[in-house]
Structure 1
């Protein structure tokens, strides 16, 4: 007689069984059952979507725009995305053939991997990295290959590190700047070596630039803007982070026509199109929302400065994140693993953070702290973290 576990395993694909559940969710689930919690764990803005964006979406409903849009997204939005990317990041894309509106940036990464990878193809992932990258590679039949970075290098990767990981099976380099969870950014000079590798070894580059607008100390440089890289780059972005639209689930992907056509094919069959009313909200965000983006960005920068300074004062080494809204301090001095520290902090001091190991092996010895919360919460969280450190 088969056990229920055997029966379940028999029903599931081996590929899915091999993928671990998100390590972030465990701490969120624990925190949700506790009172007096200060959460530095959630990777989303604490701002509400600006009213004019919400109003544009409501207006689209009132006008009866409730049908499917074109599979690639409403053409007005794609044209506006093209104008925005040219204006802000000096990259030019054809809205008819090179832009696809997706259900969040995560869908863009998913269909991009599925469109490009064959069984056994290798994808180099710079870690620490967003928790979805490796699983999405695996679900597409690919093999994730981690290249770790260190706090002493400000979590920046070198071309030499990436080249050492390239094999005849390598097909893609996965980059994310500003980075989640470290907040690290890279400038054009630092990315030129990686661009040269992509050309020398005939590789594609996935560039996740969802945090591009949240770059504090220098303007964001899009990987696709480097000489010869537009033809090799699948550029992923969206509205969740900078525009405070996480629940709208709206992203976009920019790519050469042949690659985009393949992604569109998967998008057509799996999701049809992104929600129409969300697309009209995003159109308004691009047309008149940049002042709101700047206001939110300046608030995050103020909080970043406070958090980094405060962590240094209580003895936690923390590099200065150039973008996104995360600090990634080292807790190695405590002698605890990142999971042990995060659990102790949650249970004893009611502060929720994410243990660094869930972002890859290079994240061990660190915790991710989102500063997308109020200054009052941040001040109180630092006091509670310091109490735990003093006991340790």
Structure 2
């Protein structure tokens, strides 16, 4: 009787599409709800349009009624222009599919380059597999951070990185981990450029890492980590 909710908002941003990513709906369609939205694959963070695919049958009908009942007390309707954009996007026309493909390649290249900088500095970081976030762990630096910088918590490290170097990250504690955990959520999106022209150039570049503004951002990460390690 367990209902599965599978949030697949990052599905289109998995770097290696082979083998195809399995979804719970492939194995238990009668009790799986799949959710997604436009904000990640199309970078439409402010366009609040999400969807939920409900299972066929009595369970889906019950959930549909409950969702409508709750939703009617929370929101009225998605704005008209966003509805039109969502209808276009969810039909997946070739030009949007191509853009998502370019986005996926850009995320992969930059995320892997950032991860390589953290790894080279001795920070533990899982290999990026999707999207535009990393989760480096400064645990190998724990004694050094405490003795040299007085940092003993994830929040303390995040504050130090921001105040000392202007590097904005989120500590693991905001995602439910213990305060003592030194993992950080690092987003790569700001490296793509400061202007629309730079971001479009990054999106279409065969080698985005070689673009001057991205290379400069990566060099800055190296500088910050080197200084933090002193």
Q: Using structure 1 for the length normalisation, give the TM-score.
A: 0.45
Task: Tell me what 2:25 maps to.
Answer: 224
Alignment check: 8 A CA contact 1:338 1:365 kept: yes
Deviation at 1:305, TM superposition (A): 1.5
Structure 1 Cα separation of the partners of residues 74 and 175 of structure 2: 28
Task: Tell me what 1:69 maps to.
Answer: none
Task: Report 1:31-42 matches (<5 A).
Answer: none
Residues 263 and 312 from structure 1, CA distance in 2 versus in 1: closer, same or farther, beyond 3 angstroms?
same
Deviation at 1:272, TM superposition (A): 2.5
Q: Does 1:296 align with 2:103?
A: yes
Alignment check: 8 A CA contact 1:308 1:327 kept: yes
Residues 365 and 281 from structure 1, CA distance in 2 versus in 1: closer, same or farther, beyond 3 angstroms?
same
Structure 2 Cα separation of the partners of residues 337 and 311 of structure 1: 19
Deviation at 1:237, TM superposition (A): 0.6
Task: Tell me what 1:329 maps to.
Answer: 136
Of residues 371, 382, 388, the one that matches 2:221 is 382
Q: Does 1:318 align with 2:157?
A: no
Deviation at 1:332, TM superposition (A): 1.1
Structure 2 Cα separation of the partners of residues 278 and 377 of structure 1: 35
Of residues 71, 76, 88, the one that matches 1:267 is 71
Deviation at 1:257, TM superposition (A): 2.4
Alignment check: 8 A CA contact 2:121 2:226 kept: no
What SS does the corresponding residue of 1:324 show, helix, strand or coil? coil
Task: Report 1:20-169 matches (<5 A).
Answer: none
Residues 245 and 377 from structure 1, CA distance in 2 versus in 1: closer, same or farther, beyond 3 angstroms?
farther
Q: CA RMSD in A?
A: 1.9
Alignment check: 8 A CA contact 1:345 1:388 kept: no
Structure 2 Cα separation of the partners of residues 323 and 333 of structure 1: 25
Unaligned runs of 5+ in 2: 55-59, 143-151, 193-213
Residues 377 and 283 from structure 1, CA distance in 2 versus in 1: closer, same or farther, beyond 3 angstroms?
farther
Deviation at 1:290, TM superposition (A): 1.0
Q: Using structure 2 for the length normalisation, give the TM-score.
A: 0.75
Alignment check: 8 A CA contact 1:304 1:327 kept: yes
What SS does the corresponding residue of 2:46 show, helix, strand or coil? helix
